[in-house]
Structure 1
Amino acid sequence: MDEIIQEDKKVFLYLNNLGDPSFDQLWMLISSTWIWVPLYIIFLYFLYKNYQLRSLVFILIFLALGATVSDQLANVFKYGVARLRPCHDPSLEHYMRIVKCGGQYGFYSAHASNTFFLASYLGILLKKKIKWFPYAIFVWAIVVSYSRIYLGVHFPIDVLVGAFAGSLLGVIFSVLAQKVINKQKITP
């Protein structure tokens, strides 16, 4: 396990040090939550245009439940595993670029989990109706997740585990939403 952690730190330092101060504000913006509200509104519009109102209600309920589970499960792991964020790791302080620092613990990334939850959940629900959508939303999730490494708040493994957990939850909640919609004999 120590070898994996050391490799994770090496990859982190490489990726984190690719940054440049002239791009720091951009990456902070990408990592912020509120900047994406217009995009979330576009996601809602796509759902509204492609599903009937009764179906949309169930989709939004499962979206809210899944996003809450994704976010809170990441917090349980952060305090349960208690792995220091890179910006709090004394062995890295002289080698990394700290652009921003969050709470003390960072395993695993809630940003990665939440964005990949949205990407997989919405990607599955909209893939037959908007062919390009799953590709675009996964690119968005990757960019937001990388921003966490760039800023110095997560290691690559934190991001990868968050992406896996979020994707898994997205699949589970999209299947549940589709089953409820089909059981209610609600046609999309």
Structure 2
Amino acid sequence: MNVIQDEERGPMDGPGGRRIVAGVSGSLGSLTALHRATAEARVTGAELWAVLAWEPPGGDIAHRGGPCPAPMAAWRRLADERLLSALEGAFGSAGPDVPLKCVVVRGKPGDALLAVAGQTDDLLVVGAGARGRLRRAVWPSVARYCVARACCPVLAVPPSPLHHALDAVHRRNAWKLPLDTRKLAD
């Protein structure tokens, strides 16, 4: 799989047909959304664009005075590896059975996804994780941002019920509480 960097693509790059643009971060929610986007691409015959947004550590403000090219290249390479790792985790080494384009964009996730899914016939697919008030205050929702500002249809995919069970197991492990594995089989 080839990864396209944000400077390498034009705004209308790709075929004239419909594109399914999926935001990928490597989280369980984004992988669920990626599988749903793949299913949509399969049904409609569209091309799947897997998009990962990245920012330099400290954000762009820290690097406005002229960042050193070596760290920037290393961070870009890490973003490429993160996207490829997420795709391999989602589909294995065989990849999805639909045409796939991998895109890595430097910028905030919401802005990057909207820039790539800029055509009215695109479909933007994002994970819509379960969020409480505290999480919304600290980490704004990319899904909400995209739904409010997109010029194309947006599909916000809720988390799988298995995510809740997995989160409960992680919490029990973090607090070093005993785990009853019989409850996992239900």
Same topology, TM > 0.5: no
TM-score range, shorter chain: 0.3 to 0.5
> Bigger relative contact order, structure 1 or 2, given CA contacts below 8 A and separation 6+?
1
TM-score relative to the length of structure 1: 0.32
TM-score relative to the length of structure 2: 0.32
Higher helix share: 1
